[in-house]
Amino acid sequence: MSATIPAVTNPLAESISTQPLLIRRAAVLGAGTMGSRIAAHLANAGIPVLLLDIVPEGAKSKSELAIKALEALAKSKPAAFYDSSFASRITPGNFEEDLPKLTQCDWIIEAVAENLAIKHALLQRVVPHLAPHAILTTNTSGLPISQIAEILPSEAKKKFFGTHFFNPPRYMRLLEIIPTPQTDPALAASFAAFADLHLGKETVFANDTPNFIANRIGVSVISTAAALMLEQGLTIEEVDALTGPAIGWPRTGTFRLADMVGIDILAHVAANFPQGATQSPFTPILQEVVKRGWLGDKSGQGFYKKSRAADGFEERSALDLKTLEYRPLAKAAIPALDMAKSAPNTAEKLRLLLAADPTKDKAARFLWPLLANLWNLSASLIGEAANDAPSIDAAMRAGFNWELGPFQMWDAAGVKETVARLKELNLPVPPAAEELLQSKNTSWYASDGPQCFNPVSNHWETIPAQPGHARVADFRRSHKVIRSNSGCSLVDLGDGIACIELHTLKNALGTDVTSFIASVLKPDSEAVRDFSGFVISGDREHFSVGANLMQLLLAAQEGEWDEVRGAIAAFQRMTSSIKFCPRPVVTAPFGMTLGGGAEINLHAARRQPHAETYIGLVEAGVGVIPAGGGTKELLLRSIDAAAALAPPDPKDPPSRFAQSAELLTALKRSLETIAMAKVSTSAFDARSLGLMAPSDRITLNRDRLLLDAKAQAQALAESGYAAPIPRTQIPAPGLAALATLETGIYLMGEAGFASEHDQKVAKWAAYILSGGRITAGALISEQYLLDLELEAFLSLSGERKTQERIAHTLKTGKPLRN
């Protein structure tokens, strides 16, 4: 990077870090798919919501549309609510009777049909009921915000702007905020801070241009990909493979994404472009597919189709865009993609794919014009749709789940090299890229600090840090790595807190992880002396998919039982080191947190999960039981939950409490959690499975997770944290409880809900949860329960059906019911 260009600050981006707006109650106007899902996500954030819509003709209830929307939300998949009980935070109503209730709301969101006249008519009725402090926003995906604001009085215009959520709002992180010239900038910035903190959103300021940022680029990419497919004679399966993980985009690729979003919505967004902007050979095909009602997942068919064959098995078909007839699905066979899989990261994959000769290589022939269009469009939007490149990159990462934004992809591929290649291929080169290179710079982002080149100002602009946001990589770049191996690193987070970062493939837990964590957290370790607390987390997509099954399968198949025993004992030592560490250990899970990953969390002093944490003890799915202390911990939680409901009398013998109805109820729940390999649908849902405690705080914004967990560790350390002592006086539920649990297992088998091997696994889980075949109330220890786990695991690992399950899961990624 050249130092001759002075750095300036982007004032708009810096303004985002202000005091969050106070939103105590909200209203959503419009109970359609988008409006109702926005209401659901506000309810997820703990905000009471009024959901209103028109009064339909002949309705039994004036609020029928809102009521039906709530009923649909309860059944929606993926789930709209973090927890089904959150639906009670939404009050259905109607425009005829309930508009006066808007005076109680701090935020009113208009989300009715994309029709300017309808929006104007409704807003005119809303204005008289706005509280003086309330903000009014529109969720339009394409209509000009300034046109919608035209009918508002001047005071209301100051508090009006666009808030474009992406569907479904719970899962899609992007929230585009579109102010008008009359919008109070401080109010918009304060709202952005609220959405970041309380709604978990990646907030990006967009200008009032057609389709704003993400849809403007995303739909253009889809249109270009489809046009290239037709031009080059590719199939939709091949295009989806070329526009998937190989270049850091989601597995859905292009056409599977269109099916998920809705092909009618894709066509609607395309229609918002300036005339001719997205016209291509694909346009008439898109219009015809919509005309036929093939709208994607919601209609049962789109570019792909699922159907049942005569033998009852599911068949998948793909649409031939030349004939508009469905044909059997065919796997994309593109050698370059197979070669790219071996590359260590997306940047390397991209460089590898683009290095090939486009005249000979199918992948390069497709990707060069696709990326040329992406880079040209993105560069042209700086100063039009967005103020800078980081805003465009953020919008595409959060709105379309890209790993890298367009300018980050360009840097990864090499700006100087790609511009030269684009010229060789007679593909367009944007003037902004020429300006960048003329200034003696070779990348959009600086390599030595948080700056990005802005071709509008011809300056390097500082990318302001968002307060409360951090990833482990930020501390790695600051040379804070203390020690590491292939599976873990110990990273200094500052203020006396260190992070144990998991970074294996899919964060699978092998000996490199177990030995590292156990050594770091042992009472006499250097790390325990040097730090006052620890966080266990990482930057990958998922916290952990569990134990390394390949190691287990090979050892079991070869009869290396000492190796299996040693691996389980090491895993137990690791989880015990987490639980009994003299310093507080806080886990910060996210995404898939399965098997051993769940067991790590069960042993922590506190958990600070991301809201989208899908945690479960899934070992039964591969024919074993949780043996890293997970089964033991669920028994302890069952005992503690029962004691909280019905505290045992110290005068009574332990057998009385061990046979109580409260304990038996709690044990049944724990057995179901293990035997049915239940996985939570959110961090909130994990509480109902006994995998999260009511006291565990939950973070909605993934970028805030690490520092939230660090704050938890600091708070525990500063409050005089004392590690728990291993329990040795645990009243075993005993034989009576075991008999009851085994009866339930038998009945599940008789009803066809559990195979013979399912029952065998469940009986081992019941055996441990009961403390073995011993007298109720007999006092046992944690180590005794760990020994039972080890016994059960070794026994089940030797079963042929268990080994078949493990092999099947490794091959397909799916469980086997045998």
Q: What is the pLDDT of residues 395-454, one digit of tens each?
A: 999 999 999 999 999 999 999 999 999 999 999 999 999 999 998 889 999 988 799 999
Distance CA(406)–CA(402), nearest Å, equals 9
Q: Which pLDDT belongs to residue 17?
A: 52
pLDDT of residue 279: 58
The residue from 157, 190, 205 where one domain ends is: 205
491 and 372 in a single domain? The answer is: no
Collapsed DSSP state (helix, strand, coil) of residue 314 = strand
Q: Is 308 inside any structural domain?
A: yes
Q: Report yes or no on 811 lying in a domain.
A: no
DSSP letter for each residue of 270-305: HHTSPTTTT-STHHHHHHHHHHTT--BGGGTBSSEE
CA angle 792, 691, 708 (to 5 degrees): 135
pLDDT of residue 1: 34
DSSP result, 548-586: -HHHHHHHHHTT-HHHHHHHHHHHHHHHHHHHT-SS-EE
Q: Provide the 10 A C-beta neighbour count for residue 201.
A: 25
The CATH number linked to 388 is 1.10.1040
In which element (H, E) is residue 165 found?
A: strand 160-165
1 belongs to a structural domain: no
- Per DSSP, helices labelled H in 360-405 are 362-381, 389-400
- The answer as to whether 813 is a domain residue is no
Q: Taking the CB of residue 761, how many other CB atoms lie within 10 A of it?
A: 28
Q: What are phi and psi of 746, to 5 degrees?
A: -60, -45
Residues 692 and 769 occupy one common structural domain? yes
Identify the pLDDT of residue 261. Answer: 84
Helix (H, G, I), strand (E, B), or coil: what is residue 740? helix
Q: Which residues of 205-227 are buried (b: 16+ CB within 10 A; e: fewer)?
A: bbbbbbbbbbbbbbbbbbbbbbb
Phi, psi of 419 (to 5 degrees): -60, -45
Give the residues of the chain that fall short of pLDDT 50.
1-16, 276
Q: Are residues 87 and 231 in the same domain?
A: no
For β-strands 160-165 and 174-179, DSSP reports them as antiparallel
CB-based contact 666:688 (threshold 8 Å): no
Q: How much is the pTM?
A: 0.92
CATH number at residue 640: 3.90.226.10
Per the structure, how many domains does the chain have? 4
Mapping DSSP onto H, E and C, the string for 485-501 reads CCCEEEEEEECCEEEEE
- Going by DSSP bridges, is the β-strand pair 135-138/533-537 parallel, antiparallel, or unpaired? unpaired
340 and 396 together in one domain = yes
For residues 454 and 498, membership in a common domain is answered with no
Interatomic CA distance for residues 460 and 761, integer angstroms? 61
Residues 556 and 665 in one domain: yes
What is the pLDDT at residue 286?
Answer: 87
Q: Would you say 303 and 255 are in contact if contact means Cβ atoms under 8 Å apart?
A: yes
Question: Is the domain of 588 the same as that of 648?
Answer: yes
pLDDT tens profile 106-152: 999 999 998 999 999 999 999 999 999 999 999 998 789 999 999 99
Q: What is the CATH number of the domain that holds 257?
A: 1.10.1040.10
Distance CA 394, CA 404 (A): 9
Distance separating alpha carbons of residues 13 and 541, to the nearest angstrom = 26
Provide the pairing of β-strand 314-320 with 304-308. antiparallel
Q: 53: domain CATH number?
A: 3.40.50.720
How many other C-beta atoms can be found within 10 angstroms of the C-beta atom of residue 62? Answer: 19
Do 503 and 641 have their domain in common? yes
**76 and 225 housed in the same domain:** no
Residues 276 and 216 in one domain: yes
In a domain, 815, yes or no: no
**% helix, strand, coil for the chain, step of 5:** 50, 15, 40
d(CA 652, CA 296): 63
Residue 128 included in any domain: yes
**Paired strand residues for 699:** 610
Distance in angstroms (rounded) separating the CA atoms of residues 567 and 561: 10
Can you read off the two tokens belonging to residue 517? 């964590």
3-state secondary structure of 481: strand
Kindly state whether residue 817 falls inside one of the protein's structural domains: no
> What is the domain range of residue 415?
334-467
Q: Which of 154, 188, 205 delimits the end of a domain?
A: 205
Give the residue from 205, 222, 239 where a domain finishes: 205
Task: Determine contact, residues 646/662, Cβ cutoff 8 Å.
Answer: yes
727 and 616 assigned to the same domain: yes
Alpha carbon distance 806, 803 (integer Å) = 5
Same domain, 225 and 282: yes
pLDDT, position 274:
61
The continuous run of DSSP H or E covering 424 comes out as helix 415-424
How many Å apart are CA 818 and CA 813, to the nearest integer? Answer: 16
- Does residue 746 lie in a domain region? yes
DSSP run (H or E) holding 163: strand 160-165
Q: What DSSP character marks residue 699?
A: B
Report the half-sphere exposure of 483 (CA within 13 A, side-chain side).
Answer: 9
CA distance between the termini of the chain: 60
The CA R_g of the chain, rounded to the nearest whole Å, is 28
